[in-house]
Amino acid sequence: MEALSCGERRLGSEEEYAAPAVGVSLCDSAPLVWRMQDLRAVRAEGLVGALLGSLPRTPRQNGRLGRPLLLLPEEEGLLRERRAAAALPDRCQDWGGAELRQKHEEEEKRSFEEQSVLALEDRKLALLRAMTGAESGATSADEALRRRLQALDQNFTFPQSAMAVQLSTARAGLSYCPEARAFLQAYGPPGAEPRCDARYQVFRDLRGRGFYLTSAGKFGGDFLVYPGDPLRFHAHFIAVCVSLDESVCLLDVLAVARLGSNVKKTVLLCSPGPDARVCYTSLQWSGMI
Amino acid sequence: MGFSANGKQCLLPEEALYLMECGNLQVFHQDLPLSIQDGYEKFLSANTVSLQQYQVFGHLKRLGYVVLRFDPSSESSSYARQLNLPQSRDRAGRQLKRKRSLSPAPSSTPTATCSRAEAQEECSTEKMEEDKCSEGEEDIKLPEPPEAQSSADEGGGRSWWMMDVLGDSDKDSGHGSKSGSSCWDFSSISFPDLGSTSREHFPSDLAPPDPSLLPGDLKVGFCDIAPWRQKINLRQVKMSANEQKREKYRRRWDVNKNREVRRCRNWAEYQELMARRKGKREGRPAHLWNREVTPLHDPTQPIATGELLEKISVIKPTHLLEGASRLKDADDWRICFNVYQPNTVADFKKSNPGKPYSRMCVCSFDDPVPDLRAIKLLAYQSGDIPVVIAVVDYGDISFYTFKDFQLPTDVYP
């Protein structure tokens, strides 16, 4: 979370070395991704997730949200399978210890000094602009301004209350507790069995074919299937996972077909079959013309 | 936001986290500021505020609503609300008005009742028509016995009593008078028609009848008809074309021409037929009303349409809060938040929040759909404020609400 400060800019300074495992931390038993490099890595794997938090620049709107990124259970399962997810420790070591507090105080002091220097420069520039604005000779107001400028260097104080502080979004961004470059051990025992429920099988198969998938609860299905990145495409399919031996009521099929045709998407009935193959049936509403 | 406790201003965890995300608040723990991630992990849990509930909270706050936690104990009972809030008084007033409109209206116009009463009279339909059409006429007296009319019309006689006549017309009168079993042949005896208006049948006086027809030594001379005819009203009835047509049809009407009558083989069957017809005419057919299970309503009794609909309805309408007070609390469905509109739209004060705009209940798409029991419970807890169910789907939030709806009855009393 970055407050608008004139000093620090949070660039992707962690770009130098992308950790091989994505740090996932649990909040209320939901997998969340906080660090910037982790988010980039997740997107690079083709997993979309959902952003939950307020966007730091414009916090009071719901159109675009910011970190954390919530992973679908299928996405977390896929990362786990690829040995690409790691559990982040849930607290900074030695929280409240004297060393951390000292580090924090030092950081604060450094930031304060930087900001006061910049504040003085800002004030001088403002006065100069006010002076050069009145170009018509030396008026009495001009004289006053020049005198103020000279006095500025001596008795300018930058109050502590005017200092901008930075709220870090990820714990890794805390100045006194940097986890940015922590090398994380991927979790899960080697050779862990992939989840065998229908949804996970379908997710894995479609992802393997290059589609991007997000959750489709409000469309009445299991997944929304995009031909590419969701930022560039509209969804083409609504995937509904049905197991092969489950009998489906015709009214449910009609209902989901209606839903799909209303939003101009094809409904995919996906059933994982034996030997890891998934059987797909598409439903499209065709009018009799 | 926030509340004061022990003289200090305090914030609820979801409020603190929201302010942190907006960049307006810094939270310190053991002198060190927390990051947003720390805030999420420390403030949100299944015991306090879950992640889904916080998502809904944040979504609504970013839209501008005022969101407070729901406290079931601080809600006034419906009775208390009735006493205090002006809105509930209005609703009671509205209910009263609705009740008044359902009550049966004062009964129909005089002409309608009059015609119904006439229908209930025991008279044949043709007579009723005649009554109606003759209102202007003074000539025809109401009601006239049907026998007199029919006998005046008869040209040839009815034949059913002729079957009993055994005697022949050739019998000697001397034989006949003594034996008693001799019946007269009425077809050969001429009865004068004094009421006839046609001129040719109008003799000035009548010839004496055959002495064999008279008892004993009675001697009858010529009879002057004129004074008798004066006593009879022989004026021609002025009838319109319609009435003349009706007269013609009536003259040709014969009860024996009816197929059903002909099917009756004896008097008992004929009487049954008459009873059936009477029942049908009056709306109380015997085969329906003579058993143990009778119709719900006697059509001869007046009743308002609304009451009749209620009488015959099988499924009674019910409203959402019926029986809700008897339900025991369930663990799974709980109201989380009260949502108030911001101060620009409605008057919101922390000391006096007023009525919430709606109440929020948070769940996810993996949870089951709330059944009727859960909805009744939520509605009962909420009182008169609609309960909105916010369904969280990994980042998307959809809002659903259930509204109580009464099917309209098309009744205009």
The whole-number pLDDT of residue A88 equals 74
Query: Which of B36, B59, B366 has the most A C-beta neighbours within 10 Å, making it the best mutation to test the interface with A?
Result: B36
A54 touching chain B per CB within 8 A: yes
A 227-286: CB under 8 A from B: none
* pLDDT tens digits along B363-400: 998 888 888 889 988 988 888 889 999 999 998 999 99
Question: How close A186 comes to chain B (CA, Å)?
Answer: 20
Report whether B11 contacts B19 (CB < 8 A).
yes
Which DSSP string do the residues of B200-237 spell out, in sequence order?
GG--SEEPPPPGGGS-TT-----EE-HHHHHHS--PPP
A25 touching chain B per CB within 8 A: yes
Percent of chain A residues topping a pLDDT of 70: 81
The band of A195, judged by pLDDT with boundaries at 50, 70 and 90, is low
Q: How far apart, in Å, are the Cα atoms of A164 and each of A9, B14, B54, B412?
A: 12, 24, 27, 72
E-only strand ranges, B246-378: 337-340, 358-364
Question: How close A95 comes to chain B (CA, Å)?
Answer: 8
Element (H, E) at B62: helix B51-63
* pLDDT tens digits along A94-112: 677 788 888 888 989 999 9
Q: Answer whether residue A135 shows pLDDT above 70.
A: no
Residue bearing the bigger pLDDT, B28 or B216? B28
The band of B199, judged by pLDDT with boundaries at 50, 70 and 90, is low
Residue bearing the bigger pLDDT, B197 or B409? B409
- Whether A174 and B35 lie within 8 Å, measured CB to CB: yes
* pLDDT tens digits along B75-118: 766 677 677 755 433 344 344 444 443 444 444 344 333 334 33
A25 contacts in chain B (CB < 8 Å) = 37, 41
Report whether A175 contacts A103 (CB < 8 A).
yes
Q: Answer whether residue B7 shows pLDDT above 70.
A: yes
Beta-bridge partners for A238 = A224, A267
Whether A265 is catalytic: yes
- The pair of three-digit structure tokens given for residue A24, joined into one six-digit string: 């996932």
The whole-number pLDDT of residue B67 equals 93
Whether A234 is catalytic: yes
- Whether A101 and B395 lie within 8 Å, measured CB to CB: no
Residue bearing the bigger pLDDT, B139 or A194? A194
Q: Answer whether residue B51 shows pLDDT above 90.
A: yes
Task: Please state which of the ranges B12-21, B53-62, B162-171, B382-391 shows the lowest mean pLDDT.
Answer: B162-171
Q: How far apart, in Å, are the Cα atoms of A262 and each of A137, A242, A266, B411?
A: 73, 21, 10, 38
d(CA A50, CA B364): 15
A166 touching chain B per CB within 8 A: no
A50 touching chain B per CB within 8 A: yes
d(CA B2, CA B4): 7
DSSP state of B49: B
* pLDDT tens digits along B230-260: 888 777 778 888 888 888 888 888 888 888 8
The band of B304, judged by pLDDT with boundaries at 50, 70 and 90, is confident
Helices B13-22/B51-63 angle, 10° precision: 60
Beta-bridge partners for A239 = A223, A268
Burial (CB count <10 Å: 0-12, 13-18, 19+), residue B174 = exposed
Mean pLDDT of B144-148: 42
Which of A4, A27, A56 is facing B51, going by the closest CB pair? Answer: A27
Report whether A66 contacts A232 (CB < 8 A).
no
- Whether A54 and B62 lie within 8 Å, measured CB to CB: yes
A26 contacts in chain B (CB < 8 Å) = 41
The whole-number pLDDT of residue A238 equals 95
- Whether A54 and B41 lie within 8 Å, measured CB to CB: no
Q: Answer whether residue B120 shows pLDDT above 90.
A: no
B396 contacts in chain A (CB < 8 Å) = 50, 215, 217-218
List % helix, strand, coil for chain B (3-state, nearest 5).
40, 10, 50
Most confident of A196-200, A228-232, B105-109: A228-232
Task: Please state which of the ranges A167-171, A250-254, B184-188, B367-371 shows the lowest mean pLDDT.
Answer: B184-188
Mapped onto helix, strand or coil, the DSSP state of residue B78 is: helix
Number of A/B CB contacts below 8 angstroms equals: 114
Strands of A237-241's sheet in order across: A212-215, A223-226, A237-241, A266-272, A278-283
Residue A23's CB is within 10 A of a number of other CB atoms, namely: 23
Query: Which of A5, A10, A28, A38 has the most B C-beta neighbours within 10 Å, making it the best mutation to test the interface with B?
Result: A28
pTM of model > 0.90: no
The band of A268, judged by pLDDT with boundaries at 50, 70 and 90, is very high
* pLDDT tens digits along B319-348: 888 887 788 777 788 899 999 998 777 778
d(CA B386, CA A184): 49
Q: How far apart, in Å, are the Cα atoms of A1 and each of A7, A8, A58, A67, A179?
A: 15, 12, 11, 9, 16
> Considering chain B, what is the average pLDDT of its residues?
74
d(CA A45, CA A39): 10
Residue bearing the bigger pLDDT, B152 or B207? B207
Burial (CB count <10 Å: 0-12, 13-18, 19+), residue B129 = middle
B285 touching chain A per CB within 8 A: no
d(CA B135, CA B168): 48
Residue A239's CB is within 10 A of a number of other CB atoms, namely: 25
- The pair of three-digit structure tokens given for residue B176, joined into one six-digit string: 């006949």
The whole-number pLDDT of residue A270 equals 94
Residue B52's CB is within 10 A of a number of other CB atoms, namely: 22
The whole-number pLDDT of residue B171 equals 44
The whole-number pLDDT of residue A9 equals 41
B 64-83: CB under 8 A from A: 64
Mean pLDDT of A70-76: 92
d(CA A75, CA B394): 12
The whole-number pLDDT of residue A206 equals 94
**What torsion, rounded to 10 degrees, do the Cα atoms B19, A48, A72, A223 define?**
120
* pLDDT tens digits along A1-55: 444 433 334 444 444 344 468 888 888 889 999 999 899 999 998 999 999 999 9
- Whether A218 and B398 lie within 8 Å, measured CB to CB: yes
Question: How close B353 comes to chain A (CA, Å)?
Answer: 23
B29 contacts in chain A (CB < 8 Å) = 95-96
The band of B141, judged by pLDDT with boundaries at 50, 70 and 90, is very low
Mean pLDDT of B194-209: 68
Element (H, E) at A223: strand A223-226
Q: Answer whether residue B161 shows pLDDT above 70.
A: no
Amino acid at A281: T
DSSP state of B10: E
d(CA B155, CA B139): 23
Mean pLDDT of A130-147: 69
Burial (CB count <10 Å: 0-12, 13-18, 19+), residue B45 = middle
- Helix extents (H) in B134-266: 146-153, 173-179, 226-231, 241-252, 259-263
The whole-number pLDDT of residue B135 equals 41
For B245, residues 6+ apart whose C-beta sits below 8 A from its C-beta are none
Residue bearing the bigger pLDDT, B400 or B282? B400
- β A223-226/A212-215 pair status: antiparallel
Which of A25, A50, A165 is facing B37, going by the closest CB pair? Answer: A25
**What torsion, rounded to 10 degrees, do the Cα atoms A63, A66, A68, A71 define?**
50
The whole-number pLDDT of residue A141 equals 73
DSSP state of A16: G
Mean pLDDT of A133-147: 68
The whole-number pLDDT of residue B413 equals 61
| Tokens 């799974």 found at | B332
The whole-number pLDDT of residue B100 equals 42
Residue B48 CA from chain centroid, whole number: 55
Report whether B36 contacts A16 (CB < 8 A).
no
Which of B22, B31, B51 is facing A60, going by the closest CB pair? Answer: B22
Q: Answer whether residue A274 shows pLDDT above 80.
A: yes
Kindly name the residue from A109, A234, A264, A280 that is annotated as catalytic. A234
Report whether A44 contacts A73 (CB < 8 A).
no
Closest by alpha carbon to B352, among B360, B335, B340, B361? B340
Percent of chain B residues topping a pLDDT of 70: 72
The band of B200, judged by pLDDT with boundaries at 50, 70 and 90, is low
Q: Phi/psi of residue B196, each to 5°?
A: -70, 140
A 56-115: CB under 8 A from B: 56, 59-62, 65, 67-68, 70, 72, 90-91, 95-96, 100-101, 104
Q: How far apart, in Å, are the Cα atoms of B282 and each of B118, B260, B296, B308?
A: 11, 19, 16, 19
Amino acid at A14: E
The whole-number pLDDT of residue A168 equals 87
- Whether B32 and A95 lie within 8 Å, measured CB to CB: yes
Query: Which of B14, B17, B31, B40 has the most A C-beta neighbours within 10 Å, making it the best mutation to test the interface with A?
Result: B40
Residue bearing the bigger pLDDT, B211 or A205? A205
- The pair of three-digit structure tokens given for residue B193, joined into one six-digit string: 């028609």
